[in-house]
Structure 1
Amino acid sequence: MALTTENTVVGFIGIGVMGKSMARNIMRGGYPMHVYTRTKASADELLAEGAVWENSVAALAAKCDVIFTIVGFPPDVEEVYLGEQGILAHVRSGSYVVDMTTSRPDLAARIAEAAAKKGVHALDAPVSGGDIGAREARLSIMVGGDKESFEAVLPLFQLMGKNIVLQGKPGSGQHTKMCNQINIAAIMMGVCESLAYAAKSGLDPATVLKSIESGAAGSWSLSNLAPRIIKGDYAPGFYVKHFIKDMTIALESAEAMGVDLPGLALARQLYSKLAAEGGGDDGTQALFKLYS
């Protein structure tokens, strides 16, 4: 059955920096929306726009046909899905559950297995694109799960993102996101070191950026985060504390597979130093503070 606006009630758990925009874009697509998040005030804007508040994960799960989650850390994901008051204890058979948190690949596989036993379709679908991508509905969405479930949920994914790819079996979306984060970690060190070098050499970093962002050094981080660094804007599009979580997952997964990632290990060391100095709630571009 197609998931149309007439026959589908959508639930969204986790109304944070990205979740709010993602839920809003689904609502703009015409789908009725039920929301839950730990701090109700975070959902006030969506409630004013027509979303329905639910007082618990369990209450939301019982009423919705498709449930999206984007929460903080793997223990949060485990509680939300596998806890006694979690989604899988209360969701209806035949429903779809989609975790968009960046989480552990092995946990995504466990959730999919538990969901299948209840007749529930599970996908892991972490995203990339930050607050800007979420707001403008042009996220990159990396999906793990079966093809039929992916195709059923695709119209909803298309309300949130532009680059939507089914990567493989459950957990594959999370493994792909680890590849993304490994790449970003190295790039962010390069962006910060490049701007620090430019400033120390007497160049205007903004003028340097005009030359290098469209050449071989170009990247999303250079084009979108370097201007924030130059302005001294360290507000979070993606939190340092969450990036450290992602890097830790990637390093642990890599170790289990026998893969050595020295660049990623250095990036986590630097970001951990930044967090220890009070930068855990800054955006990832705040790494520049260590160079300035």
Structure 2
Amino acid sequence: MQVGFVGLGAVGAKLAGTLARNGVDLTVFDLDPARMALLTSQGAKPGESAARMMRECDVVITSLPSPAASQAVLDQLLPEIHEGKIWIEMSTTDPEAIRAQAKAVQDRGGRAADCPVSGGCHRAATGNISIFAGCDRPTFEAVLPLLTYMGRRVLHTGDVGSASVLKVMTNYLATVHLVSLCEAMTTMAAQGMDLATTYEAIKASSGNSFVHETESQLILSGNRDVDFTLDLVLKDIGLFQALADAKQVPLELSPKLIEIVKDGQARYGDRAQSDRLIERLEEATGLSITAPGFPTELIDDEPEERGSEVFRTVSP
């Protein structure tokens, strides 16, 4: 199977690198030549354009920063799609948009799978990230071998669009956790609590979360480079708010969260690292939310291994 990969950003480069490392016949394309050079040094072949990659490959994977970017690339892919071609969209995108895009692919005889990832860039680098897959079952079984190179846990979520709905939700929750952790740790510092002890208390308690075990470490080290920027956070939580608005769900936390992220952008820049949200509270209180001994980068210490499909624990 010949595979093309378009979009070599923070996550895409790591997913593509995992495919190359595992011997997949891979061609890559990105508008940034330096990103392409990094992947070709890992064994991938350079692509000339998205359209040519779809013409020459059996599967083309996209991992792009916005629904608009995904549509622009799909417009290039569509003329080359016919029976036997598969498009895998791994961006975090608008669920309605991906449904319409998948139909356009299917109308030309191809197959489409909606496959966003979750778990952080450090797990994308080791092939241990989680993948949601929205598509019909035959398409899922066709793409599963590729997905299990890139991810440790692969969940078939239902039809196209279902994976993006769930991914938007998980990114919303991650942002809630991040903002609440900023408030919790700043309040503990104001109370005179040792922040290393605070970290362990949260980790050992019902207040723990994946975000705490990862991003709190970067906050406390002072590095705060989680490889995820505020513009992407705002896109994702905005998509979640749109899902709620479409069904008239009266959210209360979500609008405040959007306000906080926009304030962070106004202070630090649209593409500031998301963990810099802690600095809003540091500035307001004069406190330093740091502690010695915490890592300045996240490293996945789980050994890399081939992934597998995971199933619901409760049967319908």
* Corresponding position of 2:264: 274
Unaligned runs of at least 5 residues, structure 2: 283-316
Higher RCO (C-alpha under 8 Å, 6+ residues apart):
2
Is the Cα contact below 8 Å between 2:7 and 2:30 reproduced in 1?
Answer: yes
Matched, 1:217 2:210: no
Contact 1:235 1:282 in 2 (8 A): no
Q: Count residues in correspondence.
A: 282
Provide the rounded CA distance (Å) in 2 between the counterparts of 1:133 and 1:162: 9
Report the secondary structure of 1:167's partner residue: strand
Match of 1:164 among 154, 163, 170: 154
**How many angstroms apart in 2 are the aligned matches of 1:194 and 1:105?**
33
1:139-197 Cα offsets, whole Å, 9 max, x none, are 12111110111111111111111221111111101101122122112111111111111
**Following the alignment from structure 2 to structure 1, what is the Cα–Cα distance between the partners of residues 274 and 137?**
34
Contact residue 131 and residue 151 of structure 2 kept, 8 A? yes
Question: What is the DSSP-based 3-state SS (H/G/I as helix, E as strand, rest coil) of the residue aligned with 1:119?
Answer: coil
Tell me the equivalent position of 1:80. Answer: 73
SS at match of 1:159: helix
Q: How does 1:60-71 map to 2 (within 5 A)?
A: 60-71=53-64
Contact 2:229 / 2:273 at 8 angstroms: preserved in 1? Answer: yes
Q: Paired residue for 1:14?
A: 7
The 5-angstrom pairing of residues 146-165 of structure 1 reads 146-165=136-155
The range that moved more, 97-106 or 183-192, is 183-192
- What TM-score, normalized by structure 2, do the two folds share? 0.86
Gaps of 5+ in 1: 1-7
- The answer for the alignment partner of 2:30 in structure 1 is 37
1:55 to 38, 44, 48: 48
Q: Is the CA contact 2:81–2:109 (under 8 Å) kept in the aligned structure 1?
A: no
Aligned with residue 238 of structure 2, among 237, 241, 248: 248
- Distance in 1, Cα, partners of 2:273 & 2:153: 23
1:93 corresponding residue in structure 2: 83
**Alignment partner of 2:81: what SS?**
coil
SS at match of 2:91: coil
Check the 8 A contact 1:62/1:92 in 2, yes or no: no
Which one of the candidate residues 125, 134, 137 is aligned to 1:135? 125
The code of the aligned residue for 1:91 comes to I
> Compared with structure 1, are the counterparts of its residues 181 and 260 closer, same or farther at alpha carbon in structure 2 (3 Å cutoff)?
farther
Match of 1:185 in 2: 175
Q: Give % identity.
A: 27
Deviations 1:67-96 (A, max 9, x none): 111101111111111x2xx11122342111
The TM-score normalised by the length of structure 1 is 0.93
Q: Is 2:18 the counterpart of 1:25?
A: yes
Alpha-carbon distance in 2 for matches of 1:222, 1:234: 13
SS at match of 2:60: strand
1:5 aligned partner:
none
- CA–CA distance in structure 2, aligned partners of residues 268 and 55 of structure 1: 39
- The structure 1 segments of at least 4 consecutive aligned residues displaced by more than 6 Å after TM superposition are none
Paired residue type of 2:207: A
Question: In 1, Cα distance between the equivalents of 2:224 and 2:77?
Answer: 35
- Distance in 1, Cα, partners of 2:25 & 2:82: 17
Aligned twin of 1:3 = none
Segment of structure 1 superposing worse, 94-103 or 258-267? 258-267
